[in-house]
Amino acid sequence: QVQLVESGGGSVQTGGSLRLSCAVSGFTINNYRMAWFRQAPGKEREFVAGVEWSGRYKYYGDSVKGRFTISRDNAKNLVALQMNSLTPEDTAVYYCAANGGYGHIKSMSGYKHWGQGTQVTVSS
Query: Taken in order 4, 41, 11, 85, is the CA torsion positive or negative?
Result: positive
Q: What percent of the chain has pLDDT above 90?
A: 94
For residues 65-94, give the mean pLDDT: 98
Question: What pLDDT digit, counting tens, does each position of 8-58 carry?
Answer: 999 999 999 999 999 999 999 998 999 999 999 999 999 999 999 999 999
CA distances from 53 to 18, 57, 115 (A): 24, 8, 19
Residue 9 φ then ψ, to 5°: -70, 170
The H or E element spanning position 113 is: strand 111-114
Q: What is d(CA 21, CA 16) in angstroms, rounded to the nearest whole number?
A: 17
pLDDT tens by residue, 97-120: 999 888 889 999 989 999 999 999
